[in-house]
Amino acid sequence: MLRAVIWKELLELSRDRRTLALVVLMPLLGLPALGLLTGALYHEQVASVTVFYEDRGIHAIANWLASDIAQRAASSGIKVSVDIKAGSPKPGCCDVYVYLPRGFHENLTSISKPLVAYIGKLLASQAAESAYYAARGALGDLSQRVAVERVEVLINASGLEASPELILHPLEVREYTFKPSGAIASPREQLAAETARLLEFALIFVVNPAVVYVTDAIVGERERKTLEALLATPLGARDVVLGKMVASAIIGLTAALADSLGVLVFFWSLGGSHVLPFSLLGLHALVSGVLVFMTAAIIAPIASRSPSIRSAQATGMAVLSLATAIYFAALFTDISSLPAALKVALLVIPFTHAALAINSYAIGSMAGVAVHVAVMTAVALAAVAVSIRLTDPEAMILVKE
Amino acid sequence: MDKNPSGAYAILAEGVRKAIRGREVLRGVDLKVRRGEVHVLAGPNGAGKTTTLRVILGLAHRDAGAVRVLGFDPEGSGFERVRARIGYLPEDAKPYERLTGWENLYFYALAYARGDRARALAIARRGAELSGLGADALSRRASGYSKGMARRLLVARALMHEPELAVLDEPTSGLDVFSAVRLRGVIRSIARAGAAVLVTTHNLLEAQEIADSVTFIVDGRTLCSCSVAEALERYGAANLEEAFVRAVEDAQGGDLEGAA
């Protein structure tokens, strides 16, 4: 009996190009489009940088600084136009300026006087922000160069055998990243963990089509005047709602596969597909599928009692916003490090477990993956049971406005 | 109350009451529909006809009264199986626009045949024949159908599984004259074959042509539930339209305006 409803749902969906596009294209293109568009626009912006100097004798230093700024910007994929001018900065001269004031040349060759340089950046300009870091880095290089020269002067004066490098950098720091088990994480594992955060964020693109599909499938049936006759058949209200949920799970799986493919495309476009383990991709697909079914099961009973598609979608969007907030926060927050009260509050929200399942994989905890996927499955099944219990033809037909 | 599923009455309803959002829509509806007869449920707009049909089909809960449909309580467990023996056409129903006419029939046929594909195919073929739409129209999506074509498809969908009880809400609404005449013929023929047919209509002259018995309801109350001959005799009327007007006038102290 359920098969009849599923067959009808999938047949209708296959002819609904817009919804189909939303189900497949949004997860497929969402992340790559977001990443590529942001990347492309970021790299297309051009910032103007001017190096101003007062002392005639430091034209060569200004030149060196300009060249270092351009080199640093290029290596970060930022476009800058660098200029050198004698004099002081004028309003509106550029996005970022570096100013070497009067006396800079004299102090450069002294070992007892401080060197002062000024750096200015335009307010609320992302281009200026990026160029600022290049200029800041170039000044750091200059400072380092001057420091080495000053130390060499001191070594020569003292007659000691010493290396300026060892004096300036006496401490060598060796870094390691380790897993909860204490084992050292390989660079590949570190990249996979960073990738996992992105995959948690990519879950947003899977939840959206599920909400849109379920609300339309249930409320739309009433608005298109096809519901009442259907409820009077042997299928009944439970089969109708359950059939739509199963259909949404199939659609969700499609969306999940499209989303996983989208993630692959995204990494491929960045030239880093080799850092994405296929097992992580498989887990992402599994978590996405369970997530979609769970979302559909949560939304279905609400949708069946909504007076219109608009009202059902508004409720769905509220649920979606909650999920989006969690997946966005997962990009920057480590849920397991939060205070207990906050952690419990987040764990009560079923969507959190999708992010935690992927996160558990990233830190190598397969038990964690199993627990969080099991929680999601249990919530989905409980929601289905509630849905079946609450399904009432009268409530579906005679909805209170 | 007749509890025998094979009894003479397909529908037995007594003293049905129903309130929706605090307003009493049905205040005591009595209805008896025999097997093998066409029964017309007539009443002005807002009289409670559609709500009565929904209570009979178990699509709305009654607050009071007793209902038996094909011997079963529509709110009882297991009524979903009984629905396979019922055909229902709501007044404002529409087909699935993204499905073809044939797919619309086949989907419902699968439901009536409870998943038995071979039986579903036979049922859908009968539906195709009943609709009279032809293979070309049935292979097209229902979104391109005229109102009349869609109505013919829906009538066929409600009757194709040869139900023991057909419940048709304004079945000829939107049909052209030829289709309406044809449908009246189909309704008579399924009643002759032993099915009970409950029809609501505003067109009482049409009702007289097909009805064996009639129920008049006004303001959620049954004024009369009897054979057409008894209704004509009771109200001293030449036809059902006249009988209905007099029934309403009697009920409202001669003020027909209030019923309209």
Q: Which of A1, A8, A241 to mutate to test the interface with B (most CBs of B within 10 A)?
A: A8
Contacts of B67 (CB under 8 A, 6+ apart): B11, B12, B13, B14, B16, B55, B56, B73, B74, B75
The predicted-structure confidence for A255-306, as pLDDT tens digits, reads as follows 878 888 888 788 777 665 556 678 888 888 889 888 888 888 888 888 888 8
**How many angstroms away from the CA of B91 is the closest CA of chain A?**
10
User: If you count DSSP H runs as helices and E runs as strands, how many of each does chain A have, helices first?
Assistant: 16, 4
Burial class (CB in 10 A: 0-12, 13-18, 19+), A324: middle
Q: Percent of chain B, pLDDT > 90? A: 73
Average per-residue pLDDT in chain B?
A: 90
Question: A148-172 pLDDT, tens per residue?
Answer: 999 999 999 999 888 998 999 999 9
User: Which chain B residues touch A11 with a CB distance below 8 Å?
Assistant: 98-99, 103
- Residue B60 contacts A where some CB pair is shorter than 8 Å: yes
- pLDDT of res. B1: 44
Mind giving me the DSSP string for A76-129? TT-EEEEEEEES---TTS-SEEEEE-TTHHHHHT-SSS----EEEE-TT-HHHH
Sorted by sequence, the CB contacts under 8 Å of residue A298 that are 6+ apart come out as A319, A350, A379, A383
Q: Are B49 and B217 in contact (CB under 8 A)?
A: yes
Contact B240, B38 (CB under 8 A): no
Cβ-contact B29, B13 below 8 angstroms: yes
pLDDT at B255 over 80: no
> Can you give the pLDDT at residue B3?
45
As a whole number of angstroms, the distance between CA A357 and CA A287 comes to: 7
- Give me the interface pTM, i.e. the ipTM: 0.92
Residue percentage of chain A with pLDDT more than 90: 36
Check if B110 contacts A (Cβ < 8 Å). yes
Over residues A170-222, the pLDDT tens digits come to: 999 999 898 888 889 888 888 888 888 888 888 888 888 778 888 888 888 88
Tell me if B94 and A226 make a contact (CB, 8 A cut-off).
Answer: yes
Q: Which amino acid is at B67?
A: V
Count other Cβ atoms within 10 Å, centred on residue B114. 16
Task: Report CA-CA distances (Å) from B85 to B5, B38, B57, B200.
Answer: 12, 16, 11, 19
Q: How far is CA A210 from CA A245, A320, B168, in A?
A: 10, 10, 36
Q: Which two tokens stand for residue B144?
A: 């391109």
Query: Could you identify the residue written with the tokens 């059939």?
Result: A243
Over pLDDT 70: what percentage of chain B?
95
- Using one digit for the tens of pLDDT, what is the confidence trace for A53-106? 999 889 999 999 999 999 999 998 889 999 999 999 998 899 999 999 999 999
Q: Average of pLDDT values for A333-356? A: 90
Q: Quote the DSSP letter at residue A184.
A: B
Q: State pTM to two decimals.
A: 0.78
- Residue A180 in tokens: 């909860």
Please check whether residue A54 touches B, CB under 8 A.
no
Which is nearest to A6 in space by CA: A303, A250, A288?
A250
CA distance A234 to B84: 5
3-state secondary structure of B168: strand
CB A110 within 8 A of CB A116: no
Distance from CA of B63 to the nearest CA of A (A): 13
The three-state secondary structure class of A301 is helix
Give the tokens for residue A240: 């109708």
